[in-house]
Amino acid sequence: MVAKTEIHAQQQTLPGTERLMEPQAIFIRDDYRGSGKLENKVALITGADSGIGRSAAIHFAREGADVAVTYLSEEEDAQETKRLVEAEGRHCLLIGGDLRDAEFCRDAVAQVVETFGGLNVLVNNAGTQWVSEDLTTLEDVQWEQTFATNMHSMFYLTKAALPHLGEDDTIINTTSVNAYIGPDFLVDYTATKGAIVSFTRSLSNQVVGRGIRVNAIAPGPVWTPLQPATLGAHDPQMLEDFGADTPMGRAAQPCELGPCYVFLASLDSSFISGQTLHPNGGTVVNG
């Protein structure tokens, strides 16, 4: 069992960094044993410098994959992810830049294919949020930027990646429990996450005939830099209750997410496509 994380009031600025997290996050359980589920696969994971993406990167490496990692500007966090992937005996390619830029997305996929000779798993995970409690004061530019980061980037990356994917390759999109419960202070973010669920379903139907599976993961509250940089920046006290409203009464550690990504990336989920996994502490969402 993963113990409840005691989170105190704290604040960061976006995009946030792991170094300032108190307490530090846990990315993989010491007793997690790899069994070659992703042997010699190549994965591209966006936003894997930190948080959920970093956990997925380390788990993929322990399962035998080489991993390319994109990050916005968190150089120090990205270098640490690279060190952790390499400690598992696999290669790690770091690609820094802004996923709102279609050209950068295309270039990122090209770099992965050039470096590793192919691509098998695309994890569209990078994302951002911003607390806004009143739609009438939500700036147009904020709305557009949230969609550009969370949704448009997925389109650009997936479009560039699909020609390289084939039989048994997979795409995994990170959505959120918020797509299902609709918190009143994250309307733009929640709308992007709903779009990601529908994107996943429709894209799955389009490519499943080629043997490519497309699924989503809808995490509940997870202890990552995104939270002190957004909820904490809005009101540091919001973090003290982070996760308390889940049936398990706590937030997850990133190490509780990585195995979900392994499952959907590997043949263990060979009959699953167009679906969403719900690692959310027990919240029943029926979707």
**Span of 159-167, 220-228, 233-241, 262-270 interacting with ligand NAD by CB under 6 A:** 220-228
Question: Between residues 50 and 190, which has the closer beta carbon with respect to Mg ion?
Answer: 50
Which of 12, 120, 128, 190: binder of ligand NAD (CB under 6 A)? 128
If binding means CB under 6 A, how many residues of this protein chain bind ligand NAD? 28
Q: List residues bridging with 172 in a β-sheet.
A: 123, 215
60 in contact with ligand NAD (CB under 6 A): no
15 in contact with ligand NAD (CB under 6 A): yes
Give the nearest distance from C-beta 51 to ligand NAD in angstroms: 2
Q: Say whether 189 is catalytic.
A: yes
81 in contact with Mg ion (CB under 5 A): no
99 in contact with ligand NAD (CB under 6 A): yes
125 in contact with ligand NAD (CB under 6 A): yes
Which of Mg ion, ligand NAD, none does residue 227 bind to, with CB < 5 to 8 Å depending on kind? Answer: ligand NAD
Question: Between residues 74 and 88, which has the closer beta carbon with respect to Mg ion?
Answer: 74
Task: Give the DSSP letter string of the chain.
Answer: -PPPP--------TT--GGG-SSPP--S-TTPPP-STTTT-EEEEETTTSHHHHHHHHHHHHTT-EEEEEESS-HHHHHHHHHHHHHTT--EEEEES-TTSHHHHHHHHHHHHHHHS---EEEE-------BS-GGGS-HHHHHHHHIIIIIHHHHHHHHHGGG--TT-EEEEE--THHHH--TTBHHHHHHHHHHHHHHHHHHHHHGGGT-EEEEE---SB-STHHHHHHHHH-GGGGGGTTTTSTT-SPBPGGGTHHHHHHHHSGGGTT--S-EE--SSS-----
222 in contact with ligand NAD (CB under 6 A): yes
188 in contact with ligand NAD (CB under 6 A): no
Chain residues 39-68 in contact with Mg ion, contact rule CB under 5 A: 49-50
Which of ligand NAD, Mg ion, none does residue 232 bind to, with CB < 5 to 8 Å depending on kind? Answer: none
Which of 47, 64, 228, 281: binder of ligand NAD (CB under 6 A)? 47
Question: Between residues 52 and 119, which has the closer beta carbon with respect to ligand NAD?
Answer: 52
Q: Which two tokens stand for residue 243?
A: 């996760």
Catalytic residues: 189
